[in-house]
């Protein structure tokens, strides 16, 4: 049976001290979560709830887990990616009253799922997931727990896609909020968070500049838009690859070159995948790439760059620098894979994830969704649900107030005009 992280570290005390500093720094810059923490501590909305979490266990996530515990919940948490956990933060979180953390960096697949099982052993009444691995595991292996689960919240694009597929097949047996799809998450976390953190992680891992490079962005959803925009802002030439005609047209109209990956493979210096799909970059593309290219993934799972096919092509593979594995082709070309093809902004050696202020918004949404499930869970049937608009606006208003930003409101006459169909020319 998997034990909490504190029992597996050589110097748990030092790890806890280091992790606590990271958490304290984060909360200083998370006014939404700070405001919610004060409310939750006073109101204790999560008393008697058991919250199971599978997330990227780093400082911002730890703030979310802690405010849920402060609000009265018993929280059990583990990672949602084998390389995204910060062990010191996990240890600090494990020391918080009401929290048990099983997350550890660098585990193999068996240990990864053992830790998810350890969280499930707490018999959660609410789940908070990033990628839907825990939700899927509960449905597959522990259906007897479903009747006692009020509902859950899903953080990321890939997880929402999985849940919608389950829902379409009639296989999702409790309500889940699609946190990823609400404006306060999608418009900031996916665009600004992914764009900034993916590029900074790549730059810090390689010590290379963006200026003058050709950056190929696979996928022009919200994450791809962010990566493309931030790369162009650092004076890179950007090429977008898409399969959806309207998104391809959007990228074209926004000034980017749009090419099939087969053609882009010949031009790119850096390739960043953001699709959530598999086999985006494969053998036929590797064969046409230039010497020295960088291959990075900003999607949730490590399936977008086909590393098995790359390994088959390579005459040799070796660690070029920390976080960079070089695959040398028989003709001498070197293709460099960052962070084992996993989520580069978190799995790279210096991957710190999205900026703190961005995750304050996303985790604020997660927190109010958990509160909504506790207060009004009976109102939601099994399936995927949009985040109620009033919750999204609540989080936005807290953020604006914290930043000292004032904004207008509608008059009664304006509201009546907008709500009426009777006003004509």
Tens of pLDDT, residue by residue over 68-79, are 999 999 999 999
Residue 35: predicted pLDDT: 94
Encode burial over 128-145: b for 16+ CB neighbours within 10 A, e otherwise: bbbbbbbbbbbbeeeeeb
Name the pLDDT band for 171 (thresholds 50, 70, 90): very high
Residue 205: predicted pLDDT: 97
Give the span between the Cα atoms of 24 and 20, in whole angstroms: 6
The SS3 assignment for 79 reads: strand
- pLDDT over 90 for what percent of the chain? 95
Q: Which residues contact 90 (CB under 8 A, 6 or more apart)?
A: 5, 19, 57, 101, 103, 104
Q: What residues pair up with 239 in beta bridges, in sequence order? A: 216, 257
Residue 277: predicted pLDDT: 96
The residue among 300 and 203 whose pLDDT is bigger is 203
Q: How high does pLDDT run on average in the chain?
A: 96
Q: Which residues contact 334 (CB under 8 A, 6 or more apart)?
A: 291, 292, 320, 326, 327, 328
Residue 1: predicted pLDDT: 79
Q: Which residue from 172, 159, 190, 151 is spatially nearest to 54, judged by alpha carbons?
A: 159
Residue 17: predicted pLDDT: 98
Tens of pLDDT, residue by residue over 325-368, are 999 999 999 999 999 999 999 999 988 899 999 999 999 999 99
Tens of pLDDT, residue by residue over 184-217, are 998 899 999 999 999 999 999 999 999 999 999 9
Residue 116: predicted pLDDT: 98
Q: What is the mean pLDDT of residues 40-59?
A: 97
Tens of pLDDT, residue by residue over 261-270, are 999 999 999 9
pLDDT at 425 exceeding the cut of 80: no
The SS3 assignment for 328 reads: strand
Tens of pLDDT, residue by residue over 253-296, are 999 999 999 999 999 999 999 999 999 999 999 999 999 999 99
DSSP secondary structure letters along 347-364? HSTT---S-HHHHHHHHH
Quote the strand ranges of 188-332, DSSP E.
214-218, 237-241, 257-258, 270-273, 294-297, 316-321, 324-328
- pLDDT over 70 for what percent of the chain? 100
Tens of pLDDT, residue by residue over 118-132, are 999 999 999 999 999
Residue 27: predicted pLDDT: 96
Q: Which residues contact 205 (CB under 8 A, 6 or more apart)?
A: 321, 322, 323, 324, 338, 339, 344, 348, 349, 350, 351
């Amino acid at each position: 049976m998997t034990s909490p992280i504190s029992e597996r570290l050589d110097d748990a005390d030092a790890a806890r001290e280091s992790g606590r500093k990271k958490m304290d720094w984060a909360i200083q810059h998370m006014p939404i979560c700070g405001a919610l923490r004060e409310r939750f501590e006073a109101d204790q909305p999560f008393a008697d709830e058991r919250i199971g979490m599978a997330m990227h266990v780093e400082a911002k996530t730890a703030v979310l887990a802690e405010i849920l515990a402060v609000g009265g919940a018993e929280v059990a948490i583990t990672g949602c990616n084998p390389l995204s956990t910060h062990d010191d933060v996990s240890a600090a979180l494990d020391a918080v009253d009401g929290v048990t953390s099983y997350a550890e960096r660098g585990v193999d697949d068996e240990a990864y799922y053992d830790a998810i099982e350890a969280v499930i052993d707490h018999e959660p009444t609410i789940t908070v997931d990033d990628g839907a691995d825990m939700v899927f595991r509960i449905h597959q292996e522990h259906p007897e727990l479903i009747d006692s689960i009020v509902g859950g919240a899903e953080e990321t694009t890939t997880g929402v896609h999985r849940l919608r597929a389950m829902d379409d097949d009639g296989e999702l047996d409790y309500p889940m909020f699609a946190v990823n799809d609400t404006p306060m998450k999608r418009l900031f976390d996916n665009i600004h968070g992914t764009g900034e953190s993916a590029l900074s992680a790549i730059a810090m891992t390689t010590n290379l500049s963006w200026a003058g490079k050709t950056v190929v962005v696979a996928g022009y959803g919200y994450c791809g838009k962010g990566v493309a925009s931030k790369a162009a802002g650092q004076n890179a030439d950007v090429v977008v690859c898409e399969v959806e005609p309207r998104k391809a047209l959007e990228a074209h109209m926004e000034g980017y070159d749009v090419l099939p990956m087969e053609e882009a493979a010949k031009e790119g210096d850096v390739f960043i995948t953001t699709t959530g799909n598999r086999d985006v970059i494969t053998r036929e593309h590797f064969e046409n790439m230039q010497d020295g290219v960088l291959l990075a993934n900003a999607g949730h799972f490590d399936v977008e760059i086909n590393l098995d096919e790359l390994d088959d092509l390579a005459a040799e593979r070796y660690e070029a620098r920390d976080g960079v594995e070089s695959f040398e082709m028989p003709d001498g070309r070197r293709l460099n894979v960052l962070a084992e093809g996993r989520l580069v902004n978190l799995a790279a050696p210096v991957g710190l994830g999205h900026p703190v202020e961005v995750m304050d918004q996303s985790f604020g949404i997660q927190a109010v969704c958990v509160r909504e499930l506790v207060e009004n869970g009976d109102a939601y049937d099994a399936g995927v649900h949009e985040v109620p608009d009033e919750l999204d606006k609540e989080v936005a208003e807290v953020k604006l107030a914290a930043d000292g930003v004032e904004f207008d409101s509608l008059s009664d006459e304006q509201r009546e005009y907008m709500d009426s169909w009777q006003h004509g020319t």
